Each structure stands twice: as C-alpha cells, then as structure tokens.
C-alpha cells in the first residue's frame, strides 16, 4: 500500500474566505469591526451596569424601583445582543465561516438567556415593590 498522491486541485481550499486581497473598509479594533450598533450596545451595557451598581448603593424607598428599571434595561440590552448574535450567525454561515457562526450562535444564545433572566428579575422586583 503506497501513499496516494492527489491528481486534481480542490478549489475549495485554495483561498480562505475574506482573503481575496480586498482592503478592509471602516474602523477596526483588532479583528473586530466597529459598527454603530456595536458601539451603542457596548455603551448601553456599561451604562446599565453602572446604573445598577449605583442603585445597589442607594438605601431608601426608591432602591427597588431603580433596580427593577435597571434590570429591565439590562434585559433589553442583552436581547439586542442576542439579535445581533443571530444576525452574525446567519452572515457567517452564508460566508462559510462555520466556527465563527457557531461561536456567534453560542454567544447569542447566552445573551438571550441573560436577557430573559434580567426581565424575570425586573418582574420580581416590580412585584416586590408593589407588595
């Protein structure tokens, strides 16, 4: 049994996706492209986390409504991240970047679970505030 020598070139592996020599357009932070949606989601995420940290330090009657509002906004932000993850999964899948599509689907699913958990926390806090 000898070693098999390929006789034909498989065109699928000659060029990686995205390496066609095209110049990159737009602003990048390493390999990640900076888009307006990503900037807004990052600002909203850190702003909401800062607001929740502040709401934890308040010790009066307005603490529970502040925490409920912060949890609701955090849920909205994470559901926005989940939608962005779903969109990124579709785009990466169409381009044939399977590992990237899997990572985006995993991250989007985790963001959706965190978002729905934050909504559940906001509902519980609102019910506690009304009691």
Of residues 46 and 13, more confidence is placed in 46
Amino acid 116: pLDDT: 98
SS (H, E, C) the chain: CCCCCCCCCCHHHCCCCCCCCCCCCCCEECCEECCHHHHHHHHHHHHHHHHHHHHHHCCCCCHHHHHHHHHHHHHHHHHHHHHHHHHHHHHHHHCCCHHHHHHHHHHHHHHHHHHHHHHHHHHHHHHHHHC
The domain ranges of the chain are: 40-130
Q: How high is the mean pLDDT of the chain? A: 87
For the cut 80, the answer to whether the pLDDT of residue 23 exceeds it is no
Confidence of residue 19 (pLDDT cuts 50, 70, 90): low
Work out the percent of the chain whose per-residue pLDDT is above 90.
Answer: 67
Give the tens place of pLDDT for each residue, 55-114. 999 999 899 999 999 999 999 999 999 999 999 999 999 999 999 999 999 999 999 999
Of residues 61 and 122, more confidence is placed in 122
């Amino acid at each position: 049994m000898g070693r098999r020598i390929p006789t034909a070139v498989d065109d699928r592996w000659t060029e990686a996706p995205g390496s066609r020599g095209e110049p990159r357009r737009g602003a990048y932070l390493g390999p990640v492209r900076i888009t307006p949606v990503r900037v807004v989601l990052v600002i909203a995420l850190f702003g909401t986390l800062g607001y929740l940290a502040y709401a934890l330090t308040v010790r009066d009657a307005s603490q529970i409504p502040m925490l409920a509002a912060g949890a609701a906004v955090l849920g909205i932000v994470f559901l926005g991240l989940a939608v962005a993850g779903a969109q990124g999964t579709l785009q990466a899948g169409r381009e044939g970047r399977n590992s990237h599509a899997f990572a985006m689907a995993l991250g989007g699913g985790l963001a959706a679970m965190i978002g729905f958990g934050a909504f559940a926390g906001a509902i519980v806090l609102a019910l506690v505030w009304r009691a």
